[in-house]
Amino acid sequence: MTHPSASIPEAPYADDSLGLHTDKYQINMTEVYWRDQIHQRKAVFEVYFRKIPFQNGYAVFAGLERVIRYLHDFRFSESDLAFLKEDGYSEEYLEYLASLRFTGTVRSMREGELVFANEPIMRIEAPLAEAQLIETAILNIINFQTLIATKASRIKQVVRDEVTMEFGSRRAQEMDAAIWGTRAAYIAGFDATSNVRAGKLFGIPSAGTHAHAMVQAYRDEYTAFRKYAECHQDCVFLVDTYDTLRSGVPTAIRVAKEMGDRINFRGIRLDSGDLAYLSKEARKLLDKAGFTDAKIYASNDLDEHTILNLKAQGAKIDVWGIGTKLITAYDQPALGAVYKLISIENENGEMTDTIKISSNPEKITTPGRKRVFRIINKLSGKSEGDYIALEREEPQDQDRLKMFHPVHTYIAKFVTNFEARELHHAIFEDGELVYEMPALKEIQTFVKENLDVLWEEYKRILNPAEYPVNLSQACWDNKMKLIGEIQEKVSRQVQS
């Protein structure tokens, strides 16, 4: 019996855009603003998170490049608009959406900047409608990429100078996550990825060994290793398919000896069993055979905790292959960065600060346009903490800077002889891109430099000290003034 050949339906939207990569409520709120003719009022939003992931002492900001591309290309395509039309939105509103482009001003930390809880990573100043529509995509990008860069940085803190390879594509939450996740890992200091497309798109070195399937396909390790060596110069043999120490490692050594200078015998990979024990025994066998330069690669559900433990056991591992637990941020699958309105133009054309009150003092937003400074002690070269000031303030002009806790204000210190390094940079000015995007390698170096400025106490992976993120007096006063005004207003409402 023959079957009619099946066909895959064509991708339905050749002009699909990221315009609709937003939550429906953004489109609905924007419609309200547009109908009420307040859509052009200038609004200022900030992106920040309230808790550093993985109980780490810092986070590594990643995602700016994709945010830039998203804002630069922001528009609703024909098929986006047709879809909205079917959904019942009016012709007039759709005409307005069709004309929308991003015309705002963005200031942001640079990728690879170290960022802490409750400080603005990015500030978007744009007509209310535009600023509202882009929230979802911006958070989607920053939350994921910053999360993975932070996880990768934790792993790097433990691995130190040994080589780390990102192996996670097969386990990532779909393809975008694999690609952008590996980029984030590279920013944080990973050396290479197994994902070839990430190599093509971003220039990340791509590399790899081979899988158990190849050994199984040839049925024996000798034939598999030999065939691989006849085809590829650089060889890392996977030695755990049958019996690591009695079969895998001796066979790898045999093939390396037979092939001699015709190959570059880089080493072996362990992917199961007791990685500490096996790596130590394998090292002895390799050294005894004269392959003292051959490296031992290890993989198998590794993360910073297992790696730390393996090192404590004296494991002889030179190259760490890390997949699932990195790319899925296994122990904390989401970063909770938020996007909050901090200031908006009123009916008289004046900017007025806004606040969101909460019974939890940590959750009360900090109103007003702000700048963030890293206060670096000129004597030690280390950071004293971050200082959030109102736009107009110049902390560098002060001889003696008072830094106090934003909630427990009695925790305070004075800093002298400091550099106030501004962390926000101009990215878009009135819709025009003004930021030169650095090469990925430069971002990686930037992370290293930033980590050098941090005391070790903030970098340990277990119970790190809490890095100070302080408000300026003016910023704090402004916040208290607004809280007072809101309390007054609410109490008047209750009385009337």
Site residues (CB under 6 A) for ligand ATP? 272-276, 300-302, 306, 309-310, 313
| 208 interacts with, out of ligand ATP, ligand PRP, ligand NIO, none, CB within 5 to 8 A per kind | ligand NIO
In degrees, to the nearest 5, what angle opens at C-alpha 192 toward C-alphas 151 and 247?
100
Residues that bind ligand PRP (CB under 6 A): 167, 170-171, 211-213, 271, 299-302, 321-325
**Amino acid at the residue 378:** K
Rule CB under 6 A: is residue 206 a binding residue for ligand NIO? no
Edge-to-edge strand ranges of the sheet holding 42-48: 351-353, 338-345, 42-48, 122-127, 105-108, 425-429, 432-433
| 171 interacts with, out of ligand ATP, ligand PRP, ligand NIO, none, CB within 5 to 8 A per kind | ligand PRP
Q: Compare residues 228 and 339 and give the one whose CB is closer to ligand NIO.
A: 228
C-alpha 121, offset from chain centre:
12
Structure tokens at 353: 């600060």
Closest separation between CB of residue 321 and ligand PRP, Å? 6
Rule CB under 6 A: is residue 323 a binding residue for ligand NIO? yes
Q: Compare residues 209 and 306 and give the one whose CB is closer to ligand ATP.
A: 306
Q: Compare residues 172 and 415 and give the one whose CB is closer to ligand NIO.
A: 172
CA distances from 309 to 32, 73, 156, 162, 397 (A): 56, 46, 14, 15, 48
Q: How far apart are CA 196 and CA 218, in angstroms?
A: 25
Give bridge partners of residue 114 from the DSSP assignment.
Answer: 60
Among 199, 208, 250, 438, binds ligand NIO (CB under 6 A): 208
Q: Compare residues 109 and 322 and give the one whose CB is closer to ligand ATP.
A: 322
Binders of ligand NIO in range 160-199 (CB under 6 A): 167, 194
Alpha helices by DSSP H, 263-353: 275-288, 304-312, 324-327
Closest separation between CB of residue 322 and ligand ATP, Å? 10
| 90 interacts with, out of ligand ATP, ligand PRP, ligand NIO, none, CB within 5 to 8 A per kind | none
| 372 interacts with, out of ligand NIO, ligand ATP, ligand PRP, none, CB within 5 to 8 A per kind | none
Show the binding pattern over residues 293-312: x = contacts ligand NIO (CB under 6 A), - = does not: ------x-------------
Cβ-based neighbours of 176, under 8 Å, separated by 6 or more: none
Closest separation between CB of residue 275 and ligand PRP, Å? 11
Closest separation between CB of residue 319 and ligand PRP, Å? 13
For 164, phi then psi, to 5°, come to -120, 135
Are 58 and 466 a contacting pair, CB within 8 Å? no
Among 57, 63, 267, 321, binds ligand NIO (CB under 6 A): 321
Nearest to 275 by CA among 236, 327, 234, 321: 321
Burial 372-410, CB ≥16 within 10 A → b, else e: bbbbbeeeeeebbbbbbbbeebebeeeeebebbbbeeee
For ligand NIO, the binding residues (CB under 6 A) are 167, 194, 208-209, 269, 299, 321, 323
